[in-house]
Structure 1
Amino acid sequence: MTAARVGIGGPVGSGKTALIEAMLGRLAEQGIDTAVITNDLVTDEDAERLRRSGKLDPDRVRAVQAGACPHTVIREDPTLNMAAADRLERDYPGLDLILLESGGDNLASTFSPDLVDFWMFVIDVAGGDDIPRKRGPGIVQSNLLVVNKADLAPHVGVDVARMLDEARGVRAGAPVLPTVCRTGEGIDAVIAHLRHEVLFR
């Protein structure tokens, strides 16, 4: 049985790495054997952050350097990420889940179905409540939309309830979940959704 491969995309600063950090402890508590692949342009910065977090064996965090537009290695030619995922499965037989974090990108980021079984897109309220209305492919096509930093809404003049409603409308009712990675709020709901959709089916 192969590990489920879940993509996590979103703009720079939306909280993709923070979401993974918040998820790792909960996944471990639930006995879900996990590894991570990060994508950056020319550094391993996100991978190093996750390795330093202490929430996962550092060798279970692998880094891919895109060297170009982040779309390239998750959509147009995902072979580098596919090879990294295959190596993780060889190194850690019995893996349940591989999280693949894209490099920071705009709302057009999508994942190749050859690379992932499921993908989520992360936006944050600090980016403005008009983000869902822009209807980028990441907003509309992702399996799950995560609206992060919900706690910042009062400080940036955002009506988070309206933002969530508009996002659900744009996505024709497809799942939208709010999170606050700093406190862990909403993380259990994200993991429950993954369990239902791609894990232990």
Structure 2
Amino acid sequence: MDPLAVIRKYYDPDSELYAILVTHSRLVAQKALAVARRVAYLGPDLKFIAEAALLHDIGIFLTRFPEIGCYGSHPYICHGYLGRELLEKEGFPRHALVCERHVGVGITRAEIETRRLPLPARDMVPVTLEEEIVCFADKFFSKDKGQLTREKTPEEIKSSLAKFGPEKVARFAAWLERFGEK
């Protein structure tokens, strides 16, 4: 599979949004592969991680986030499950789950129902090692044009996750320890 060919089916390669998405996704892939190599003893699938990291945000064009050039009809939080739907149609069900489960540090069905989030009522939390690694790596990079290539510190990430509850910070902290991030 060629992740960039899949992305080009949905994004104009000459657009600013394509440049933002691909830059962000490449940085996430590099970080995810570095993490995976540190935990090689766990047997992560490096080829899959590289592909999934490039594709994890493919659904953003269907959302409203004009600051980066997204003019779709859905709230940004929906980009994960929308990406899942796209990749399932493309015949990549395993990659599709990474899309759905990478938002935040994962979103539970209970959170979706309690907070009345505009998402399908199901657990959207990373389950496999590869899903966790891509989700973890994604937290270090923004799609904000002014911050696109800057890697966030773990403390910055924890601070941004804190508004969603201590369990989110705890999940990220556990990944920091598990994945040997300093």
Instruction: State the TM-score bracket (shorter-chain normalisation).
Output: 0.3 to 0.5
Q: Report the TM-score, using the length of structure 2 for normalisation.
A: 0.34
* Greater helix fraction, Structure 1 or Structure 2: 2
* Greater strand fraction, Structure 1 or Structure 2: 1
